Amino acid sequence: MPPKLLITGATGLLGSHILRAARERWHPVGTYHRTTRRQALYFFGETDHGRIDLADYSETKAMVADVQPAAVIHTAAITDLDYCEKYPDDSLQLNLHAAINLAALCGDLDIPFLFTSTDLVFDGTGAPYAEDDPPTPINVFGEHRALAEEAILAVYADAVIARLPLLIGYGSMNRESFFYKLVAAFRSGLEVTLFGDAVRTPVSAAVAASGLLQIAGSGFEDDVNIAEIDRVVDRLHLGGRDQTSVFELGLQTLRILGLSEQLAVPVSVLDSYAGQLERPFLAARSANVALDSSRAYELGYDPPPLPSQLEELIPHAWRAPSRVEDIPDLESEPVDPNEDN
Ligand SMILES: NC(=O)c1ccc[n+]([C@@H]2O[C@H](COP(=O)([O-])OP(=O)(O)OC[C@H]3O[C@@H](n4cnc5c(N)ncnc54)[C@H](OP(=O)(O)O)[C@@H]3O)[C@@H](O)[C@H]2O)c1
């Protein structure tokens, strides 16, 4: 029986990709919260799993005792920045306290614990950010993640903090990711305002998941050897190799979709403070939070270039044959009149 890997937030964008990829080497056990058991069964198949409120310590403790994992990847979080700003207590319970509690439980069991943090612990004025740069959060979400990082390492020194960049890809059935909404809006012909000065180092959720599994499983070696996690110390950045503004990401997406670049409308992060946006944000947004991930690259994390990740994410069936070379050349391929017989 392969070792058990507990993945919290397994119905989320990242957790669902980890769960799928982990099946190769682990016995993955996923948890979720608002998703119904029926939906989860449909989504997870027969992988055992459980509905849980990780903000409840006794539930969390009982779940860990029941599952007896060999390692834990903690992705469950409230990731909506504006929700966290409006309901800071909810964010505090899950994004901070639940993470510390889970880390402490893993410390008691002496098993690997990976915490998925974020590039949004930085304010955007000092990019590219390396692991040792001090966090400078500018919104509630970033503040609670930064506090969690610190507290987790205080309760369990062997925990690993993996800071992730903007993730692109599609979430599970009941959750629409940023990228899904972007592509859906473009395909409906809608204009989307995108920050031209919000620079990130995006990777697909699948690439991030494989990086996390490399850390959890083997310390970047081929075999599952959870003791190897010791090679990864404290904090590790899992950013992509391309520094890209969110607006540029939109343009690249439109080019692959074969749609007009006019659908991406550049705005500035500063506009969100100056009340220039139609739908103002509650939480402050950072500008350039590009991650310097050279430490992870040295260990073997190898994200493909962003354009090829985007190509992979956008099905050919969604692409408009707007470029001349994409339109089938009917003259050079005579139609066979018997084809339909
Ligand atoms: N997405 C990004 O671009 C990005 C970028 C940087 C870092 N990250 C980090 O990656 C991690 C995962 O992000 P994500 O985008 O995959 O999140 P997500 O799609 O918003 O999913 C969040 C997950 O947490 C679960 N959850 C929410 N409240 C819970 C509770 N009280 N108890 C137990 N589970 C609960 C949800 O379950 P239900 O769906 O069943 O409610 C869901 O599975 C987070 O730590 C985030 O900081 C993400």
Q: Where are the chain's structural domains?
A: 4-175+203-237
Q: Single out the residue of 172, 210, 164, 203 nearest to residue 308, CA to CA.
A: 203
* pLDDT surpasses 60 at 55: yes
The CATH classification of domain 4-175+203-237, taken from the options 3.40.50.1820, 1.10.10.10, 3.40.47.10, 3.40.50.720: 3.40.50.720
* pLDDT surpasses 60 at 23: yes
Q: How far is the CA of 332 from the centre of ligand 1 (A)?
A: 51
Task: Check residue 334 and give its pLDDT.
Answer: 46
Pocket, ligand 1, Cβ cutoff 6 A = 9-15, 32-35, 52-55, 75-79, 94, 116, 118, 164, 166-167, 171, 175
From 18, 32, 82, the mutation candidate for ligand 1 (largest count of ligand atoms within 8 A of CB) is 32
Ramachandran class of 159: left when φ > 0, alpha when ψ lies in -120 to 50, beta otherwise: beta
Q: What are phi and psi of 96, to 5 degrees?
A: -115, -65
Q: Single out the residue of 114, 95, 129 nearest to residue 239, CA to CA.
A: 129
Are 32 and 49 spatial neighbours (Cβ–Cβ below 8 Å)? yes
Region 274-301 average pLDDT = 83
* pLDDT surpasses 70 at 315: yes
* pLDDT surpasses 90 at 340: no
More confident residue, 43 or 218: 43
pLDDT, tens digit (0-9, with 9 covering 90-100), for 218-254: 544 455 555 566 667 799 999 999 999 999 999 999 9
Q: How far is the CA of 234 from the centre of ligand 1 (A)?
A: 21
Q: Across all residues in the chain, what is the average pLDDT?
A: 88
Task: Check residue 59 and give its pLDDT.
Answer: 96
* pLDDT surpasses 80 at 152: yes
- In whole angstroms, give the CA distance from residue 30 to residue 9: 7
Task: Write out the two tokens for 253.
Answer: 């997406």
Q: How far is the CA of 8 from the centre of ligand 1 (A)?
A: 8
Task: Check residue 311 and give its pLDDT.
Answer: 96
**pTM for the model:** 0.92
More confident residue, 4 or 309: 309
Q: How far is the CA of 76 from the centre of ligand 1 (A)?
A: 4
Say how far residue 104 (Cα) sits from the centre of its chain: 24
Task: Check residue 130 and give its pLDDT.
Answer: 97
Region 141-151 average pLDDT = 98
- For ligand 1, what atom is nearest to the CA of residue 76? 24
Coarse DSSP helix, strand, coil percentages of the chain, rounded to the nearest 5 percent: 45, 15, 45
Beta carbons within 8 Å of 185's beta carbon, 6+ residues apart: 192, 263
